[in-house]
Amino acid sequence: MRISVIFVKKIKLKSMKSISSIIAFLKSNLEAIATPEAMDWFGLQVAKIKADNGSMKLFLSFSQASRHFSKANLNLSSQQKQEAEKIRTGFSPENWTVLQTARTILVLEAMGEDHEKWFENIQKLFESADIHEQEALYGALPIYPFPEKFIKRAAEGLRSNMTSVFDAIALDNPYPLAFLDEQAWNQMVLKAIFMQRPLYRIIGIDQRHNSSLAKTLVDYIHERWSAGRSVIPELWRFLAPYIDDEVAGLLEKVLQEGDHLEKSAAALSCFNSKSVSAKSLLDKYPEIKKKIEKGEITWMEVGKASEAQS
């Protein structure tokens, strides 16, 4: 556990821009898509929130935003993606909706001098939010002030049976990488595998490899195969640093009997491993190895292909 805490602190200490800078970035993207009428309403709500010492104005505007903003994606430009990355490493609101962006700004604008009151208000929003409101609240975890205060809330969201809520935390979100301990991280990955979510969109996969997760996945593979079921190809990515004779045997079975996508994933796992047995196994499949070396087979490509099939 001590190792996990040290890891989290190293990630967490990376600088994040000021709240005002984050608001300015999000607002510029919102203004580029939203209607003038929606922005007029929005400006009025921000003024009311700032003038209000309570929480009612925030709660009302957060809920009513759905009447004024669409669920169309932001679709950021390359430059905007780079600006987002400067806010916090891994921050990528490319798939955020216009409505989600507006709600996030409202939450950030509600930050006043009383930080504890702001935190209490956000907790109340989480507790009363519908599914789309939860998506916005969880998606913004990495850019909240005092993000370390939301660790328990994030863990609770990851237990949700609603796929979109789980995805808001687990996918395209740097928060789990920076703040979840090893046990919580492993539980998130395992649930993503059970739910067949696109694993390539989990930020920090290769940074958070650990032997405990690898062991659990090996047991999972045996269980699935004993029941005559397959495993998602991306799973093999988590085993690359831990390929021993047993795992090499599993990979060899996939390379011999799997479909094209499964073979590509198994070969990638071997390619990214330092294991001698993995390297020897990959040498038996020179055509696949050559494609990997040329960059024609990558984990992103495997992930996207798996996502398209699901």
The amino acid at residue 247 is V
- Tell me, yes or no, whether 188 and 259 share the same domain: no
Does residue 201 belong to any structural domain of this protein? Answer: no
* pLDDT band for position 15 (cuts 50, 70, 90): very low
The pLDDT of residue 310 is above 80:
no
pLDDT in tens, 115-172: 899 999 999 999 999 999 999 999 999 999 999 999 999 999 999 999 999 999 999 9
Give dist(CA 264, CA 302) in Å, integer: 7
What pLDDT does 14 receive?
42
- Tell me, yes or no, whether 278 and 302 share the same domain: yes
Does residue 82 belong to any structural domain of this protein? Answer: yes
Q: Which of 196, 219, 238 is the last residue of a domain?
A: 196
Q: Which of 151, 167, 196 is the last residue of a domain?
A: 196
How many percent of the chain have pLDDT more than 90?
87
- Tell me, yes or no, whether 184 and 287 share the same domain: no
* pLDDT band for position 6 (cuts 50, 70, 90): very low
Give dist(CA 194, CA 281) in Å, integer: 28
Does residue 96 belong to any structural domain of this protein? Answer: yes
Rama region for 296: left / alpha / beta (φ>0; ψ in -120 to 50; rest): alpha
Does residue 140 belong to any structural domain of this protein? Answer: yes
- Tell me, yes or no, whether 240 and 166 share the same domain: no
Give dist(CA 181, CA 7) in Å, integer: 9
What's this model's pTM, rounded to 2 decimal places?
0.90
Over the range 135-157, which residues count as b (16 or more CB within 10 Å of their CB) and which as e?
A: bbbbbbbbbbeebeebbebbbeb
- Indicate the number of domains in the chain: 2
Does residue 275 belong to any structural domain of this protein? Answer: yes
59's CB contacts (< 8 A; 6+ apart) are 121, 124, 125, 128
Print the domain residue range for 219.
209-309
H helical segments located in the chain: 2-12, 19-33, 36-51, 56-64, 78-87, 98-109, 115-128, 131-139, 151-158, 163-170, 175-179, 182-194, 211-226, 245-257, 260-271, 276-282, 286-293, 299-309
pLDDT in tens, 40-75: 999 999 999 998 866 899 999 999 999 999 999 998
Give the DSSP letter string of 224-241: HHHTT----GGGGGGGGG
- Tell me, yes or no, whether 89 and 32 share the same domain: yes
Q: What are phi and psi of 126, to 5 degrees?
A: -55, -45
The pLDDT of residue 309 is above 60:
yes
* pLDDT band for position 225 (cuts 50, 70, 90): very high
| Tokens, residue 139 | 């998606």
Does residue 203 belong to any structural domain of this protein? Answer: no
| Tokens, residue 223 | 């269980």
What pLDDT does 17 receive?
64
Does residue 202 belong to any structural domain of this protein? Answer: no
- Tell me, yes or no, whether 49 and 111 share the same domain: yes
- Tell me, yes or no, whether 116 and 152 share the same domain: yes
Q: Which of 196, 227, 254 is the last residue of a domain?
A: 196
pLDDT in tens, 238-282: 999 999 999 999 999 999 999 999 999 999 999 999 999 999 999
Mean pLDDT of the chain: 92
- Tell me, yes or no, whether 106 and 159 share the same domain: yes
